[in-house]
């Protein structure tokens, strides 16, 4: 693995390239850009999939989004779909500068919210020759469905922006409770929330650069975002959609199904990993390996073995 950086306008994006065994910089390789979940950094879910893809001969690039992790950008913990999609396009720009990356051999893999961002970027980024998603969600629709009153939330965003414009402190809210104990005390009963907390806050995958904080004014960007609305018109690349068979409140199964049905790609595939829930697809070996078993031949076909 090698630490790298590239630019999104004036922001420095911090990334890691995972190399296959026996890497030879005089040869040409297929490369895959990974778009990771909301709140996640490059050392978490992205690294798990990147390492697996590298084992099968691909270069895999993970990176921290603008405003998050080791990447620069102010204000911190901003989640801006437009910036997230542009990060992905800038990752392709960077790969195009590497002599050992095949210009026609670049693919994209998006996971969870990164799946929605990946699709949104791919609508106008045809340098991606194959698009894969794992438990993809449209974060805009997810938040519109989750919040009790979207219009009231937007009113609160406006008030917060006014307060900050007048010198007030930024507001940052947790993406999820910081611990299982905190979730239980709050009366939360959704098992998928507990699974998210276990992965991000109470497992070996917890990382200090993943702050679990969302800048509150991000909702002004998120609540108007629609990842899939132009898919029928613009998504032309081969597409592989992978979902967990155990449905839950993250909407990953239904979102994946919507994406698949809306795509007009001449070659597309819908894969159900039976028994897996949303967060099982992050790190459970049997489920991750099942996804990789489908992704590898898909990318090999379209990017070259």
Summarised one tens digit per residue, pLDDT across range 251-293 is 999 999 999 999 999 999 999 999 999 999 999 999 999 999 9
Asked, for residue 168, whether it belongs to a domain, the answer is no
- pLDDT category at 138 given cuts 50, 70, 90 is very high
Q: Treating both helix axes as pointing N-terminal to C-terminal, what angle do 139-146 and 113-122 enclose, rounded to 10 degrees? A: 130
- State the average pLDDT for the chain: 97
The pTM of this model reads: 0.97
CATH number of the domain that 101 lies in? 3.40.50.1820
Q: Is residue 185 part of a domain?
A: no
pLDDT at 305: 72
205-260: per-residue pLDDT in tens?
999 999 999 999 999 999 999 999 999 999 999 999 999 999 999 999 999 999 99
Per-residue pLDDT at 50 exceeds 90: yes
24-38 pLDDT tens trace: 999 999 999 999 999
Asked, for residue 236, whether it belongs to a domain, the answer is yes
- Domain membership of residue 193 (yes or no) is no
pLDDT of residue 87: 98
pLDDT digits (tens, 9 = 90+) for 86-108: 999 999 999 999 999 999 999 99
Average pLDDT over residues 168-186: 98
Cα 234–chain centre separation: 20
Domain of residue 251 covers 2-147+225-303
* Domain contains 174: no
Q: Identify the pLDDT of residue 6.
A: 98
> What stretches of the chain show up as alpha helix (H) in DSSP?
45-55, 81-95, 113-122, 139-146, 150-165, 180-185, 191-201, 219-222, 231-234, 252-262, 280-283, 285-303
102 in a structural domain? yes
If one counts the domains in the chain, the total is: 1
Judge contact between 69 and 35, C-beta under 8 A: no
Considering the domain boundaries, does residue 218 fall inside one?
A: no
**Residue 191 confidence (pLDDT):** 96
> Do the domain assignments include residue 171?
no
């Amino acid at each position: 693995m090698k630490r790298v950086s590239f630019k999104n306008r004036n922001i420095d994006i911090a990334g890691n390239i995972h190399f296959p065994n026996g890497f030879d910089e005089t040869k040409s390789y297929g490369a895959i850009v990974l778009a990771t979940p909301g709140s996640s950094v490059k050392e978490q879910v992205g690294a798990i999939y990147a390492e697996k893809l590298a084992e099968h001969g691909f270069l895999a690039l993970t990176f921290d989004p603008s405003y998050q992790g080791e990447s620069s950008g102010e204000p911190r913990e901003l989640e801006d779909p437009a910036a997230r999609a542009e990060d992905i396009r800038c990752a392709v720009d960077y790969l195009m500068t590497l002599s050992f990356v095949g210009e026609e051999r670049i693919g994209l893999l998006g996971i969870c919210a990164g799946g929605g961002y990946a699709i949104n970027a791919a609508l106008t980024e045809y340098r991606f020759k194959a698009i894969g998603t794992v438990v993809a969600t449209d974060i805009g629709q997810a938040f519109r469905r989750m919040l009790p009153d979207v219009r009231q939330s937007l009113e609160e965003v406006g008030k917060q922006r006014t307060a900050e414009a007048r010198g007030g402190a930024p507001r940052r809210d947790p993406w999820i409770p910081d611990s299982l104990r905190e979730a239980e005390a709050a009366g939360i009963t959704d098992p998928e929330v507990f699974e998210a907390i276990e992965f991000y806050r109470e497992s070996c995958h917890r990382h200090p650069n993943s702050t679990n904080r969302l800048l509150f004014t991000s909702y002004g960007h998120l609540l108007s975002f629609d990842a899939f609305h132009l898919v029928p018109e613009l998504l032309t690349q081969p597409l592989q959609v992978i979902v967990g068979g155990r449905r839950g409140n993250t909407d990953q199964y239904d979102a994946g199904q919507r994406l698949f049905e809306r795509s007009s790609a001449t070659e597309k595939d819908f894969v159900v990993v039976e028994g897996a829930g949303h967060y099982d697809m992050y790190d459970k070996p049997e489920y991750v390996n099942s996804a990789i078993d489908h992704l590898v031949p898909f990318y090999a076909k379209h990017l070259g073995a």
